[in-house]
Amino acid sequence: MSKNFTLGIEEEYMVLDPHTRELRSHEQAIVEHAHKIIKDQVKAEMHQAVVEVGTHICANIEEALKDITLLRHTIAHIAGDLGFGIGASGTHPFSKWEKQLITDHPRYFEIVNEMQDAARSNLIFGLHVHVGMESRKMALHIANSVRYFLPHVFALSTNSPFWEGRNTGFKSFRTKVFDKFPRTGIPDYFESIEEYDNYIKLLIKTNCIDNAKKIWWDLRVHPFFDTIEFRICDVPLTIRETITLTALFQAVCAKIYKLRMQNLNFIIYNRALVNENKWRASRYGLDGNLIDFGKEMEVNARALIYELLDFIDDVVDDLGSRAIVENTRNILAQGTGADAQLATYNRNGSLIDVVDLIQAKFLEPF
């Protein structure tokens, strides 16, 4: 087993008015105060009602759990001291993007100038998980294979059923908002790291992008470091869900690596096919069917995720993540953040109560 499956987690949080429960600009006050405590682990985002945090490079899942727990508590306490609420959901249930201020930074103004309302309306909150690799060549091999499993883990993360005061009918509407951006969604298959790098160089040469960070796929190989980054998930309500999804991504990478070391490969599926499962996961979360492309049939999403747990079972002990991966079964039994939001709303039709749930779950311990 490779010892290179280090972890990094990035989460985007919403800043809330404690009285109205709407999104509220913090004028970077939270970031400025947090810099004194957690240094460069916190940064501003394009919208002023967003705060982004990132863990250190973590050697294992236990380190990642400690770090993301510390970050959530630090941001929540600073926000509270400054008179703000804080929460984690892929979208805010009712705030209007038209009212939100853009952070005063040349990079964000450049993006808004290019993307216009696609950027201004991109008021969404995601989870990004970085997994270390032994080389970028191996990173691409693993990325090509794990694309198939992206909808499975995404279904577990769904946490954005509401948008601008409406029940969208989706378990993750965040992905529908983000679809307006170019270079999003499931990535293509690349034959080699050279083909991948040449693709990036061509986009830069033709002024499509000025750097590789403007490739916003659901999964991407880092242009410089030996890592892959999973970007498909909504930011989860709880620390427990975040660390569970992180452990799943790490374990899938380790499993594909193990197969490679045995001269075995996982079947590579076409991007268009994987996209069918992503759409289903966005719409139905855990309550619909995904497609088992090997069997060429629809399978209950939960059943397919149980198969995923069986698939990675022989690597989780080496990774030290069995206890955390096992929490997947609790999510399958209890539902996702989207299910919790919808259940709260269905009790009395109050989106205020939904925001209160989002805030209450933010520091819920593992």
* Domain of residue 65, residue span: 7-361
Residue 366 covered by a domain:
no
Count the domains in the chain.
Answer: 1
Give dist(CA 180, CA 93) in Å, integer: 20
130 inside domain: yes
- The answer to the question of residue 216 being in a domain is yes
Strands (DSSP E) along 17-124, which ranges? 42-44, 50-54, 85-87
Over its length of 366 residues, how does the chain's per-residue pLDDT go in tens digits? 546 799 999 999 999 999 999 999 998 999 999 999 999 999 988 889 999 999 999 999 999 999 999 999 999 999 999 999 999 999 999 999 988 888 888 888 888 888 899 888 889 999 999 999 999 999 999 999 999 999 999 999 999 999 999 999 999 999 999 999 999 999 999 999 999 999 999 999 999 999 898 999 999 998 888 999 999 999 999 999 999 999 999 999 999 999 999 999 898 999 999 999 999 999 999 999 999 998 999 999 999 999 999 999 999 999 999 999 999 999 999 999 999 999 999 999 999 999 999 999 999 988
1 assigned to some structural domain = no
Does the residue 274 lie in any domain? yes
Query: Among the residues of 296-350, which ranges form H helices?
Result: 301-311, 316-319, 322-325, 327-334, 337-348
CA distance 148 to 196: 19
Lookup result for tokens 């008015």: 17
Q: For the domain that residue 163 is a member of, what is the CATH number? A: 3.30.590.20
Calculate the CA 215 to chain-centre distance.
Answer: 15
Q: Is residue 271 part of a domain?
A: yes
- By the 8 A CB rule, do 341 and 78 touch? no
Determine, yes or no, domain membership for 2.
no
Task: Flag whether 85 is in a domain.
Answer: yes
